[in-house]
Amino acid sequence: MHEQVRDYKVTQEPYYRAVGDEVDLYEAAYAVRMPMMLKGPTGCGKTRFVEYMAWKLGKPLITVACNEDMTASDLVGRYLLDANGTRWQDGPLTLAARHGAICYLDEVVEARQDTVVVIHPLTDNRRVLPLEKKGELVEAHKDFQLVISYNPGYQSLMKDLKQSTKQRFGALDFGYPEADVEKEIVSHETGVSNDVAGKLVGVAERARNLKGHGLDEGISTRMLVHAGSLIAREVDPLAACRMALVRPLTDDPDMRDALDAAVTTFF
């Protein structure tokens, strides 16, 4: 592994609980270096999955949280001013392409389309990255793969990937894990008993049914881990759920009452 990307190696196995054939499919996709798109709601484990796959494949992982003011230069690189004039510095995408890392663009719809478009030549059979400002044409390293995530429920009419971008990717769907799997995750990550973990998952299921009926999103697995970790530190479960599940989710008094009631049912 090239020293420039060695820091990005995932050295410890991330805890990931597979819910279907996603691990095998991803391995096949990586084998042909197919660019991948991970779809699913916030906090359901997309980022964890790509960390797990990078660990399993033994490849470095460079993650970029996308945002609407990220310029193409933030991905590709730029000239820095130096004592001896200007010096080129590779951006995270160039670093990954040049030295063979998996590059993960998290929440890619947040980025402006012009930023997204720089990935096109890396995602067709050319597998090159033109550094127009430097006048260099980087041929992607054989280990390089591009992965993007996006939340289909979140995108608005104004923010969506173009078809000419989407069609460059294979896609995997992610959702909240099934009750038993999620219970196992919460218990494993926080140390609470199976019983408490099950109650938390029960609350989450109630809340997820309210999605679209007053809630924009359901309670994510991540939030359950938050609540569990407070309970594990002997915070009163009602207070823990209010603080970690209900208050962050909504400011609507009726929804809060409904969620608080759901919490009381279980604890």
Site for a copy of itself in 101-160 (CB under 8 A): 106-107, 110, 112-115, 117-118, 120-121, 124-125, 130, 132-133, 135, 137, 151-152, 154
Q: Which one of 52, 60, 76, 91 is in contact with a copy of itself (CB under 8 A)?
A: 91
Nearest approach, Cβ of residue 235 and a copy of itself (Å): 5
For residue 69, give Cα distances in angstroms to 4, 6, 73: 26, 28, 11
Instruction: Select 102 or 219, whichever has its Cβ closest to a copy of itself.
Output: 219
Nearest approach, Cβ of residue 266 and a copy of itself (Å): 19
Nearest approach, Cβ of residue 81 and a copy of itself (Å): 5
Q: Which one of 11, 12, 69, 157 is in contact with a copy of itself (CB under 8 A)?
A: 69
Instruction: Select 19 or 117, whichever has its Cβ closest to a copy of itself.
Output: 117
Q: Which one of 3, 11, 85, 254 is in contact with a copy of itself (CB under 8 A)?
A: 85
Tally of CB atoms within 10 A around 114: 9
Instruction: Select 216 or 257, whichever has its Cβ closest to a copy of itself.
Output: 216
Instruction: Please list every residue from 14 through 43 that binds a copy of itself, using CB under 8 A.
Output: 21, 25, 28-29, 31-32, 34, 37, 39, 42-43
Residue type, 214: G
209 binds a copy of itself (CB under 8 A): no
79 binds a copy of itself (CB under 8 A): yes
Instruction: Select 135 or 213, whichever has its Cβ closest to a copy of itself.
Output: 135
47 binds a copy of itself (CB under 8 A): yes
Nearest approach, Cβ of residue 195 and a copy of itself (Å): 20
Question: 51, 10 in Cβ contact below 8 A?
Answer: yes
For the window 216-255, what string marks contact with a copy of itself as x by the rule CB under 8 A? xx-xx-xx--x--xx--xxx---x---xx--xxx-x----
3-state secondary structure string across the chain: CCHHHHCCCCCCCCCCCCCCCHHHHHHHHHHCCCCEEEECCCCCCHHHHHHHHHHHHCCCEEEEECCCCCCHHHHHEEEEEECCEEEEEECHHHHHHHHCCEEEEECHHHCCHHHHHHHHHHCCCCCEEEECCCCEEEECCCCCEEEEEECCCCCCCCCCCCHHHHCCCEEEECCCCCHHHHHHHHHHHHCCCHHHHHHHHHHHHHHHHCECCCECCCCCHHHHHHHHHHHHCCCCHHHHHHHHHHCCCCCCHHHHHHHHHHHHHHC
Number of residues interacting with a copy of itself: please give it, by CB under 8 A: 91
Positive or negative: CA dihedral 220, 225, 228, 230: negative
Nearest approach, Cβ of residue 144 and a copy of itself (Å): 17
- Alpha-carbon gap, residue 199 to 147, rounded angstroms: 35
Instruction: Please list every residue from 169 through 188 that binds a copy of itself, using CB under 8 A.
Output: 169-173
Instruction: Select 97 or 249, whichever has its Cβ closest to a copy of itself.
Output: 249
